[in-house]
Chains A and B, each alone.
Chain A
């Protein structure tokens, strides 16, 4: 069965520091992968997606993610974090079949300290 693992429940970084959020997936075929961000009290906003081609994907707000098939990973990165990046981040994979259900990881809560 498909699954997504986000090993880090909570991460704190200093403003201006680099960021990497980890995501590992389990899926038999070529996965369709997404990163969403959820600000407090808000819904989920799409940051970026991967479905084929270049393994380094650029998204909104200066985020990027790299798909590594050999490691079954799709880690999210940002070179310099801003205080407004404090939020919860979710990695997701399309579960397959006609319904295209999303399977979410449990999320990583990012705190940014001055």
Chain B
């Protein structure tokens, strides 16, 4: 019963490097989300997707790109990493239907940019 799986769990990058965070869900959910969590700020939405092949900007999208080529996967990319992107990144998914359906979260990716 995997749910939402994020890889990698930890990563250290140098400023200017690029990387991709992978989120995979096995619940056949339509909606997927990427958040970042910073101390004292809760979770803020970066990008989201309402279905395969669709993506949209959230609250803090600058410096990130996303892709949803397959329904079960949602990729978050950093083209040129900056120290301000040091954070914990969470992926979540939910099914369609009533808005009272909760989002299911992965365990997070802890990213440090030096």
A residues bordering B, Cβ < 8 Å?
9, 32, 34, 36, 41-46, 49, 51-52, 90, 94, 96, 98-102, 104-107
Interface residues on B, range: 20 to 34
B residues bordering A, Cβ < 8 Å?
4, 31, 33, 40-45, 48, 50, 56, 58, 90, 92, 94, 98-108
| Known contacts A99-B50, A101-B48, A101-B58, A49 near B42 by CB under 8 Å | no
Q: By CB atoms of chain A within 10 A, which of B33, B101, B102, B107 has the most?
A: B102
Q: Which residue of B lies closest to A96 (CB)?
A: B99
Q: A43 near B105 (CB under 8 angstroms)?
A: yes
| Known contacts A43-B90, A100-B94, A90 near B43 by CB under 8 Å | yes
CA distance A56 to B104 in the complex (A): 23
Known: A43-B90, A106-B42. 10 other contacts (CB 8 A): A34-B102, A43-B4, A43-B105, A43-B107, A51-B99, A96-B99, A99-B50, A100-B99, A101-B33, A106-B41
Partner of B42, one of A32, A100, A107: A107
Q: Which residue of B lies closest to A106 (CB)?
A: B42
CA distance A106 to B40 in the complex (A): 6
